[in-house]
Amino acid sequence: MTALMIQGTGSNVGKSLLVAGLCRAARRRGLSVAPFKPQNMSNNAAVTDDGGEIGRAQALQALACGLPPHTDMNPVLLKPETDTGAQVVVQGKRLTSTKAREYPQLKPRLMEAVQESFTRLRAAHDLVIVEGAGSPAEVNLRKNDIANMGFARRADVPVVLAGDIDRGGVIAQIVGTQAVLDPADNAMIAGFLINRFRGDPRLFDDGYTLIAERTGWPGFGVLPWFADAWKLPAEDALDIDTPMRSGGLHVVCLALSRIANFDDLDPLAQEEGVRLTMLGPGRAIPGDADVVILPGSKSTRGDLAFLRAQGWDVDLAAHLRRGGHVLGICGGYQMLGQSIADPDGIEGAPGADPGLGLLQIDTVMTGDKRLTETRAHHAASQIPFHGYEIHIGRSDGPDRARPFAWVGERAEGAVSADGRVSGSYLHGMFRDDAFRAAWLAGFGVVASARYDATVDQVLDALADHMEQHLDIGALLGLAR
């Protein structure tokens, strides 16, 4: 066994979860297995043990494999900064920022890094399960492709095509993909599967047979909707799903246009005593909010302007007058200050903007990026916890005399004089059960969730679900 690739008929068809489930299923068969995504586009990143960053989905897949995340698992990470540009991270480190129209010129160079990382993983493990990006049917992007068929052809990896029946038109998705691919690309596809079926899968028997007859590809099964998927970290902010609850501590997170590392909030969503609202644009901060969270952002000044355009700055002032609390994480922490200066244009055009003025700090963007796992002590509760830093910029000012946390003897973050506004550069703090319990206790909420244990249990349940409905043995048997 060497490698197998899952490609999709489009974005958001469930490729990341399918790969995570296959990784866990292969591991339970006694195989040394690793995930791989040649190119990912996401602002939801994870810090790796080798001091870089990869897409959060690959970190989850690594967990499914029983491995620490490594930069080889996602050698090219695109982090959108504007509607037409992105930062390019190669093997965990920032290479450049580029416009979408200029990116194709980089691809031949990036393919070498992709192949290098894949070769290392393949040498170290029995099996590598590869995730495509978007869809191979986007044939206008086929030239110098490194994400789908370009990689599959270069590395000689068989492909299984996944279609999402929940969005409708799955027959056209799969048959249409075959119709637009050239013969050599079609020859890489070893079969198909149907994802996210709601109801009785037998109702799709005729459609399943039609796809097999039209394409000549074997099918590997119809996978019903996996109800516990919301308990796993989401790859895309559009996939954030929270349970419907009434009552409890109302935590409102502002869904910024360039929101980053939004899985910071996942552990809170699993607490029965918490009602989490991801607040989209055009909606006012509700009057019953207890805590408003300003999350991380890939474009802090851009998202500060976005926040003001929604009127959320006015809403935050009213929220604080009502006695509410505000927490800023990373870019959200920077927004809470007096000013944000970017003299060298690290995140966009050079310049400076006034902040929200809710913390007495000022931030200057710098070229060096801090990427590190961090152990800290929460200043208010003295509870030790584990998090990570992934940011540019340095913040300082009078409110830093009241730190949010201590990292060794280094003060981290800031708290306002009245204690109701706080900010920190530390991501992932709510994953720590002890910290989350202490933080919620400050609002009178008793924590009950065990986040990491729950994620591991859900990965096992996902593998069980896939074993029940898909021919996992035949899928894994395709690898070469």
Enter the DSSP assignment of 120: H
CA distance 291 to 271: 15
Q: Say if CB 400 and CB 80 are below 8 A apart.
A: no
Q: Which residue has the tokens 């500060």?
A: 304
Q: Say if CB 66 and CB 27 are below 8 A apart.
A: yes
Closest C-alpha among 231, 226, 221, 161 to residue 198: 226
CA distance 389 to 330: 8
Enter the DSSP assignment of 286: P
CA distance 418 to 121: 51
Q: Which of 330, 378, 391, 469 is catalytic?
A: 330
Q: Say if CB 162 and CB 193 are below 8 A apart.
A: yes
Q: Which of 325, 378, 427, 469 is catalytic?
A: 427
Entry field: residues in the chain: 480
**How far from chain centre, in Å, is Cα 32?**
24
Q: Say if CB 475 and CB 220 are below 8 A apart.
A: yes
464: which residues sit within 8 A by CB, 6+ positions away? none
Q: 3-state DSSP call for residue 285? A: coil
CA distance 184 to 152: 11
427 has catalytic annotation: yes
| DSSP letter for each residue of 412-457 | ESEE-TTSSEEEES-BSGGGSHHHHHHHHHTTT------HHHHHHH
253 has catalytic annotation: no
Give the residue numbers annotated as catalytic, written as ranges. 330, 427
